Amino acid sequence: MSKTALLFAGQGAQVVGMGKDFAAAFPSSRAWFDRANTALGYDLSAICFDGPEAELTKTEHAQPGIFLVSWLALALLKERVPALSGAAAAGLSLGEFTALTAAGVMSFEDGLRVVRQRGRFMQEACDVTQGGMAAVIGLDEAPTREVCAEAGVSLANLNCPGQIVISGEANRIEQAVELAKAKGAKRAIPLVVAGAYHSPLMASAQPKLQAELASVTFSAPIMPVISNVTAQPHTDPDAIRARLVEQVTAPVRWEESMRYLVAQGFTRFIEFGPGTALSGFMKRITKEVQLFNVADLASLEATVKALS
């Protein structure tokens, strides 16, 4: 019997039009969009469906938008394949909140509101710092850590073999890019982002997020959810809150998280939400698992067909 892990997209996956074909095809999807709009007090669905891109890309809209479309993708797959049962969940950065909500830790409305506030707090941190990020391709972790130490920047995302994202002050990122190339990176590419996510430059967002999380009722997860900070399953609600606050400045240990699940016998991974970045990472981590994704109507139908 194959064990199935549910994976949830992170920020950067947003695309104008996401969720629109779900809402057109399924009344249940339209109802979720209406619930989301009511919970947030503004029309998130209009921004997801029609943009403009500059509005959707704002962290405070991108985070709840991706959360919502990922949640919808899971709800629709469960509707179409009632026997589907996830035995664990994980999400990339923002996606960790979606995974925890899918595991019953927070209500849908609370999860949505928290990620919207998280987006706002992170944007505020970006606005008062001069931060940047870069993707380092084709360089191992040890030499990338050396680059970070020399340039005074941080590891932000350990995504998969040969792809690490670094984060820090914009001028130091420029220096790190040149150092990475000198150490043998195939490529080192500055990313178009609002700031230095998963670095100490985000620290001002932490007490605000901590206060927000303190106001939300948390339950114990009904299935294991892998923490970005520890690459191990979350434990009790208080520890979950603490890890989610840490996550704002800590590196996302994604490759390690996926290797943990593979070692636990997981052989089927389903990615929910816009894009296929997580499936792409998994192909670099191992070829020994089945990969599916639900991002839109076409991928939903393909996954339903494969699982039925």
Per-residue pLDDT at 192: 84
> From the candidates 45, 70, 167, 198, which is the catalytic residue?
198
Per-residue pLDDT at 188: 96
Fold of 131-190: Alpha-Beta Plaits (3.30.70)
Active site residue 93: yes
Residue 14 per-residue DSSP state = -
Give CATH 3.30.70.250 domain extents, the chain.
131-190
Instruction: For residue 1, count CB atoms less than 10 angstroms from its CB and return exposed for 0-12, middle for 13-18, buried for 19 or more.
Output: exposed
pLDDT digits (tens, 9 = 90+) for 88-112: 999 999 999 999 999 999 999 999 9
Instruction: For residue 105, count CB atoms less than 10 angstroms from its CB and return exposed for 0-12, middle for 13-18, buried for 19 or more.
Output: buried
Looking at the chain, the whole-number percentage of residues with pLDDT higher than 70 is 100
User: Which tokens hold the place of 41?
Assistant: 């007090």
Q: What share of the chain is helix, strand, coil (3-state, %, to 5)?
A: 50, 15, 30
Q: What mean pLDDT value characterizes the chain?
A: 96
Alpha carbons 139 and 161: distance in angstroms, whole number:
9
Widest CA span of the chain, in angstroms? Answer: 55
> From the candidates 45, 70, 93, 199, which is the catalytic residue?
93
SS3 162: coil
Full 3-state SS string of 193-252: CCCCCCCHHHCCHHHHHHHHHHCCCCCCCCCCEECCCCCCECCCHHHHHHHHHHCCCCCE
Alpha carbons 292 and 308: distance in angstroms, whole number:
13
Kindly list the distances between the CA atom of residue 41 and the CA atoms of 36, 112, 251, 256, in Å, as whole numbers in the listed order.
Answer: 8, 12, 32, 38
Q: Given a cut of 80, is residue 225 above it in pLDDT? A: yes
- Do residues 206 and 213 lie in contact, with contact meaning Cβ atoms separated by under 8 Å? no
pLDDT digits (tens, 9 = 90+) for 131-186: 999 999 999 999 999 999 999 999 999 999 999 999 999 999 999 999 999 999 99
Q: What is the pTM of this model?
A: 0.97
Mean per-residue pLDDT for 214-231?
97
Alpha carbons 62 and 44: distance in angstroms, whole number:
10
Give CATH 3.40.366.10 domain extents, the chain.
3-127+204-307
Going by their DSSP bridges, the two strands 163-169 and 131-137 should be labelled as antiparallel
**Closest of 58, 46, 64 to residue 9, by C-alpha:** 64
Active site residue 85: no
Per-residue pLDDT at 1: 65
Highest CATH level, class, for 3-127+204-307 = alpha beta
Q: Which residues contact 145 (CB under 8 A, 6 or more apart)?
A: 155
pLDDT digits (tens, 9 = 90+) for 43-62: 999 999 999 999 999 999 99
Per-residue pLDDT at 2: 83
